[in-house]
A and B are shown apart, each in its own frame.
Chain A
Amino acid sequence: MTTGEPLIVLDKVNKYFGPLHVLQDVDLTVDRGEVVVVIGPSGSGKSTLCRAINRLEPINSGTITFDGRELPAEGKALAKLRSEVGMVFQSFNLFAHKTILENVMLGPVKVRKEKASVVRERAMKLLDRVGIGNQADKYPAQLSGGQQQRVAIARALAMEPKALLFDEPTSALDPEMVGEVLDVMTSLAREGMTMVVVTHEMGFARHAANRVVFMADGQLVEQDTPDAFFGNPKSDRAKDFLSKILTH
């Protein structure tokens, strides 16, 4: 469900960690409502790409534009941008000293200064939606990994973001919990949420993504629809990578 209207635009983005050239002239456009899955070998720069989009990681050259504006460098404007881009981490990162409900409410109340009573209602709806409504008063450590990740998604949604970034959201989960998280993500994709998803879940890529982007050694090697990419990868790197993950 893409609109052809760009929301996230990366133009010739370069990023170094010391001598390591982690992002090399990366160009990428994500349209409003589009779901882009990023795959590639470990260390190819997928996380860095994801984190660059909300400037958790500053870049060295090139430009990143979100919703028509270049990313602000620091301060209040940057904080505001981040509040419009939700992020879901591999290790959940729920606030350990806050209850589940507080985790979801914190952003809208503290960052956006919304009224707690209004936010509480929205937060409970979101928790119900991800199937955690009855655990609202527990602390993160009391929940399973799959439950924590669903709360993390609810926390991101509570800010009513224009886009969601996922960095390997199911990689830290026991296999039996992967499905429950992917189900939530799939339903978000169907509803038209703009999503950039770093994942190795090929099933999700096939049925939920509009586009698959393949990264290797800091470069976007190829991108295509899921059917075309998985059915007929063009580059040797992609063929090699797919043969490795699909033969298991």
Chain B
Amino acid sequence: MDVFSDPANFDEYTTGFLWILKLTAAGGFAAFVLGVVLAAMRVSPVPVLRGFGAAWVNLFRNTPLTLIIFFCYFGLYTNLGLVLSDELELNNFWLGVVGLAVYTAAFVCEAIRSGINTVDAGQAEAARAIGMTFFQNLRIVILPQAGRAVVAPLGSILIALCKNATIVGTIGLAESSNAMKNLINFNGDQVIPIFLVFAGTFAVVLIPTGYGFGWLANRLAVKR
């Protein structure tokens, strides 16, 4: 464990994991908002919107995340000149957020849509019959009831997102996997402890996250 007693190494480790948390938070928030919008499109009465939602899901769910992140860097930034921050590393961070959000939103959309499918069709029909618009129906009747079925899968998606965030390291961000690689390069005799600390940090954060979502799903299931 001597590696981490060196303040510079310890700093590299915490900075790395902090990036992971920031990527997860920003990417997760954007993916959630985008996923809800996409799910609404997929169940909307407008064929063009349904088609757009379906195309998004099929395109991004079936493309490796590494390719999407590379495209954000080489395509959006290098080629098309999209600059999201003047500071180089921060720019890479935001490009990573875009890639993670676009990719994860496809999964969020499908989780929400399958949740919507668990709600009896009669519920939406009764809402339409009293004159609710499509959005009122979704907001007041369908999504609150779909919520129960959506919470647990959303937990899994968030956990996957957190681990996927390490891929942003490939476009120049000193996140956990890069930090670990660096520490191993200079401390070849301590590979296993280094690995255990990094992996353990993920586990310490993600295991309670999983239980938290499970607990939330149960709570929502009772009330009805």
- Measuring CB to CB, which residues of chain A are less than 8 angstroms from any residue of chain B? 54, 56, 74-76, 79-87, 89, 91-97, 106-107, 110-112, 139, 141, 152, 155-156, 159
Q: State whether A96 touches B224 (Cβ < 8 A).
A: yes
Interface string of B104-143 (1 = CB under 8 A from A): 0000000000000000101101111111110010001100
Chain A residues within an 8 Å CB radius of B129 = 54, 56, 82, 85-87, 89
Interface centre among A54, A75, A93 (most CB of B within 10 A): A93
Question: In the complex, A91 Cα to B120 Cα: how many Å?
Answer: 11
A95 touches B125 (CB 8 A): no
B131 contacts which chain A residues (CB < 8 A)?
79-84, 107, 111-112, 159
Nearest-Cβ distance from residue B118 to partner chain A, whole angstroms: 12
- Minimal beta-carbon separation of A51 from chain B (angstroms): 9
Contact B224 A82 (CB under 8 A): no
Contacts of A96 in B (CB 8 A): 120, 123, 145, 224
Closest CB pairs A-B (n = 10): A83-B131, A93-B126, A107-B130, A93-B122, A87-B129, A111-B131, A82-B131, A79-B131, A79-B133, A97-B145
Q: Does B45 contact A (CB under 8 A)?
A: yes
Contact indicator A89/B141 (Cβ below 8 Å): no
The answer to whether B130 and A106 touch across the interface, beta carbons within 8 angstroms, is yes
Residues of chain B having any CB pair with chain A under 8 Å: 45, 120, 122-123, 125-133, 136, 140-141, 144-145, 223-224
C-alpha gap A83/B145 in the complex (Å): 23
* A159 nearest CB across to chain B (Å): 6
Across-interface contacts of B140 in A (CB, < 8 A)? 106, 110
Question: In the complex, are the beta carbons of B122 and A83 less than 8 A apart?
Answer: no
Other-chain contact of A97, B45, B125, B144 (Cβ < 8 Å): B144
Residues of B within 8 A of A81 (CB): 131
Report the separation of the CA atoms of residues A93 and B120 in the bound assembly, to the nearest whole angstrom. 9
- Report how far A159 CA is from B20 CA in the complex, Å: 52
In the complex, what distance in Å separates the CA atom of A86 from the CA atom of B126? Answer: 10
The residues of A that contact B126 with a CB separation of less than 8 Å are 87, 89, 93-95, 152
Bound complex: CA A233 to CA B127 (Å) = 39
Q: Which residues of A contact B141 (CB under 8 A)?
A: 95
Measured between beta carbons, the chain B residues less than 8 angstroms from A56 are: 125, 128-129
**Within 8 Å CB of A85, what residues of B?**
129
